[in-house]
């Protein structure tokens, strides 16, 4: 089924004004969310399920990043790393679940290459460019390289960093301060394994009726107050999300139960990520709702939650609403990247060296929505950075809904090329206070124009 038809069902909720927020990205299939808080923003690193799968299996060549300051509008930073970053690997598929962390002004992205182990990339910015500092995999002398997936990284209060990973067991190393090597004097050549007991991870029966650990894959390690948390995909296929806690990063771990059970719109896999941000707690996961049930085409979602008084995590339900309240209004009187959006229909984004990421594949009737735009005392003009190698089209600005109050129409004419950018403007009616703003694109057949940024005056 073509990608543009796949999101029709989810688009209906937006048309009806239900303000669906999940999944948080509609332009691409994204999975395995790894959120990181840095300087007032949440950066979410994701895997990327391609629109077309090979051999009906995970088809994943690169890693993408998105960020938000308000938890409802997400800025697309495009592909930030790919398998091509690793010249030593001959894999052209298998860019599986990563995680990033910052230390001493550097950003480390731990990347599993399915069949080639866990590697690491380094950058000076959370969105790259990333480079390979080692020229080889990070974790060596591994028991079984095909099980080396889903790394999660954590720096304890004493400065010691740890890297956990694994399916169907959990392994970990003590990272050195450089974050690109590890202490080989402990464990088996530096690698240690957690006790996979029933007490630590709960239990389930396998297909032969044999009792085994409830842990499956996708570990996520963090500390809150004096308690260490290990959250993970559990119960085999289809996957639930469960967690264990410990008084120390090295255990002993105690099984605490499920965080998210099975639901019809969840994929047969799931992958957790948990952060605290601006006084709130958020749980990230993925579903297959955007693809109408195709488990190899997944999409990242997020739910706000509150810890219980004893530090336990409540059972969460995956919703379409997601985060219903923004943490702060969006300022439209400064440049806003067009790829910053809360919801969209049928659009894609493209990344170029000239402009960075921009909105592309704009056709008649497509739209994007930005949540909680603060119009203040009003604006008189709308400006947009656009490019068109066709006849162009128009951008309708509407308040609150696709058919909401029309503020104005910006006509986009041919600019002489799809990457020949011009500023085009329109007068708009005065709107005050905070509203959701819809950009509805109109025009003839085929791609109309590309959209890079916008602002109000």
Residues carrying an active site annotation = 32, 199
How buried is residue 361: exposed, middle or buried, by Cβ count under 10 Å (0-12/13-18/19+)?
middle
Q: Phi and psi (nearest 5°) for 9?
A: -60, -45
Q: What is the largest CA-CA distance in the chain?
A: 70
Round to whole Å and give the CA distance between 277 and 367.
29
Give the pair of three-digit tokens for residue 300. 């990242």
**Cα 78 to the center of its chain, rounded Å:** 11
Q: Can you spell out the DSSP letters for 258-325?
A: EEE---TTS-SS---EEEEETTEEEEEEEESTTTTS-TTS-EEEEEEE---TTSPPPPB---SS---S
Contact criterion met (CB below 8 Å) for 435 and 387: no
Per the CB < 8 A criterion, the answer to whether 269 and 239 are in contact is: yes
Cis omega before residue 252 (within 30°)?
A: yes
- Which of these, 27, 28, 29, 24, lies nearest to 42 by C-alpha position? 24
3-state SS assignment for residue 383: strand
Cα–Cα distance for residue pair 245/308, rounded to 1 Å: 14
In whole angstroms, what is the distance from residue 90 CA to residue 373 CA?
A: 46
Angle at 241 between CA 162 and CA 83, to 5 degrees: 55
**Upper half-sphere CA count for residue 283 (Cβ side, 13 Å):** 22
**Based on the number of CB atoms within 10 Å of its own CB, is 97 exposed (0-12), middle (13-18) or buried (19 or more)?**
buried
Residues 6+ apart with CB under 8 A from 243: 229, 230, 231, 232, 256, 257, 259, 313
């Amino acid at each position: 089924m073509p990608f543009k038809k796949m999101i029709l069902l989810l688009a209906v909720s937006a048309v009806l004004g239900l303000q669906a927020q999940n999944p948080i990205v509609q332009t691409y299939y994204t999975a395995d969310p790894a959120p990181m808080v840095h300087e007032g923003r949440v950066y979410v690193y994701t895997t990327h399920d391609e629109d077309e799968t090979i051999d009906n299996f995970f088809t994943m060549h690169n890693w993408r990043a998105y960020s938000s300051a308000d938890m409802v509008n997400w800025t697309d930073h495009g592909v930030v790393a790919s398998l091509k970053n690793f010249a030593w690997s001959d894999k052209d598929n298998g860019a599986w679940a990563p995680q990033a962390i910052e230390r001493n002004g550097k950003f480390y992205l731990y990347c599993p290459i399915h069949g080639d182990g866990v590697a690491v990339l380094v950058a000076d910015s959370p969105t790259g460019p990333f480079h390979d500092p080692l020229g080889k995999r990070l974790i060596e002398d591994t028991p079984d390289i095909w099980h080396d997936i889903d790394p999660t990284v954590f720096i304890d209060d004493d400065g010691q960093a740890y890297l956990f990973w694994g399916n169907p067991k959990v392994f970990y190393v003590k990272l050195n301060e450089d974050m690109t090597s590890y202490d080989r004097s402990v464990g088996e050549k530096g690698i240690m394994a957690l006790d996979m007991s029933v007490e630590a991870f709960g239990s389930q029966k396998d297909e032969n009726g044999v009792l085994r650990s409830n842990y499956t894959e996708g570990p996520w390690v963090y500390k809150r107050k004096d308690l260490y948390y290990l959250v993970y995909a559990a119960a085999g296929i289809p996957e639930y999300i469960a967690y264990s806690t410990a008084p120390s990063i090295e255990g002993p771990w105690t099984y605490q139960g499920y965080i998210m059970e099975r639901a019809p719109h969840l994929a047969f896999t799931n992958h957790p990520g948990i952060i605290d941000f601006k006084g709130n707690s958020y749980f990230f996961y993925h579903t297959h709702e955007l693809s109408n049930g195709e488990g190899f085409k997944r999409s990242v979602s997020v739910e706000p939650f509150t810890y219980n008084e004893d530090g336990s995590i409540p059972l969460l339900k995956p919703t379409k609403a997601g985060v219903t309240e923004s943490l702060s209004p969006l300022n439209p009187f400064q440049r806003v990247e067009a790829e910053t959006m809360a919801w969209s229909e049928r659009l894609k984004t493209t990344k170029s060296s000239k402009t960075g990421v921009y909105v592309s594949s704009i056709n008649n009737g497509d739209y994007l929505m930005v949540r909680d735009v603060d119009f203040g005392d009003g604006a008189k003009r709308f400006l947009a950075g656009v490019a068109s190698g066709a006849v162009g089209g128009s951008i309708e600005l509407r308040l609150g809904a696709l058919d909401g109050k029309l503020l104005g129409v910006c006509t986009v004419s041919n600019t002489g090329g799809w990457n020949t950018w011009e500023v085009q403007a329109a007068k708009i009616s005065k709107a005050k206070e905070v509203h959701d703003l819809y950009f509805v694109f109109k025009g003839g057949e085929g791609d109309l124009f590309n959209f890079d940024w916008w602002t109000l005056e």
